[in-house]
Chain A
């Protein structure tokens, strides 16, 4: 890729990203909808569990809530858009710019949502995390990875006949490596293990994010042609 192409790609991504954010500010339903979903789920868990002090249970419930919230939040990125609108995008920008803009937007959305989910969860269920820095960095890295996987899967699912049920079926198996590592890291954060021991796992998380991003970037151009 030459310097000029990268410049064009950057410009396209910027324009598309701004458009997504503007759209979000105008409608305010995607973000608020997911926010309400997270708060309601946490509250339902609060009603059934009250406080959780057992680390594995606390950890598992948190990630399950976040997993379903992220599937709900990210799946709309391609499934929700009409065929005509997609066609219009493709006349304006290349597939790589479209994918990267979606991934960046979804990652931002997911980072916000996961932080709010964490705050809300701590408020109701209780916060037993001993190493906050580690937990939050795992949360941020995890959100980026999960939203890049889900963006690609949502592009795949949007091409099928029954896209909402397929979204979950297709994404669970490919999310597993990320999710297992995330659970491991956050369990360590809950147990308060020092950063010098756990830095290795954060690196693994970062590498997983990189693998997922590269794969999406390479494979998406084959997906969008209709």
Chain B
């Protein structure tokens, strides 16, 4: 119980998210209507992805400092799982966009940022696969991870502020949505547990992948 309580928390929170996410009361906003429920899935998955990418970054920095295999494993698997979360977020977002904006994909700073993030981390995984020597792979991919993370933050966080392009996303550019006024307590009641739930689930998947990786590299 001491070690796996968080897995129970993950399952409870996600069941809660799915049940209340589909059945619970939501505010009625124009344009969004019932699609506002995607907040519990799409947005929370992106949150989980960003949390895991940050975990990956921290472990890459730690690896460069201490050269411990443990940090490299966590960095790699966190990146793998966040790519999975990112793909799910992309799919849920795309379906949502089809019903709200009328297109699967639009030229929106946030969408472009998401695409660049996914490309960076696919490149990271590709880089890992193309180096055979374990220590060299760990070191070089850690360097790329740090570089890619900083560039991603610059792309998502800084560039749109200067270029004055407004996003089509709810709450931005005058659209109704999830800013402080529109996000009511009903939404919050599901939103925060959902973020924690997805992050914990991703951590669970990550811990399993790390164990598989350890077994594969075990020397007898």
Residue positions of A touching B, CB distance < 8 A:
152, 156, 159-162, 166, 169-170, 172-174, 176-177, 180-181, 184, 200-201, 204, 208, 211, 215, 219, 222-223, 225-226
Contacts and interface: CB of A to CB of B under 8 A. Distances in A.
B29 interface: no
B216 to A, nearest CB: 20
Chain A interface mostly helix, strand, loop or mixed?
helix
A225 B143 CA distance: 13
6 contacts: A159-B136, A160-B130, A161-B131, A173-B116, A180-B155, A226-B136
Contact of B123 (A169, A181, A184): A169
Contacts of B151: 173-174, 176-177
A166 B154 contact: no
Given A172-B119, A172-B123, 5 more contacts: A156-B127, A170-B144, A173-B148, A177-B154, A226-B136
Interface in B99-155: 112, 116, 119-120, 123, 126-127, 130-132, 136, 139-140, 142-144, 146-148, 150-152, 154-155
B126 A166 contact: yes
Contact of B130 (A161, A172, A211, A222): A161
Contacts of A225: 139
B162 A170 contact: no
B180 interface: no
Nearest to B126: A169
Contacts of A211: 150, 154
Given A173-B116, A177-B155, A211-B150, A222 B143 contact: yes
B8 to A, nearest CB: 38
A161 B132 contact: yes
Nearest to A162: B130
A187 B162 CA distance: 15
B137 to A, nearest CB: 9
Nearest to B121: A173
Contacts, number: 77
Contacts of A219: 143, 146-147
Contact of B162 (A156, A176, A200): A200
B159 interface: yes
A173 B163 contact: no
A170 B140 contact: no
A223 B147 CA distance: 12
Nearest to B128: A160
Given A169-B126, A223-B140, A215 B154 contact: no
Contacts of A176: 116, 151, 155
A166 B130 contact: yes
Contacts of B88: none
B62 interface: no
Contact of B120 (A152, A174, A180, A204): A174
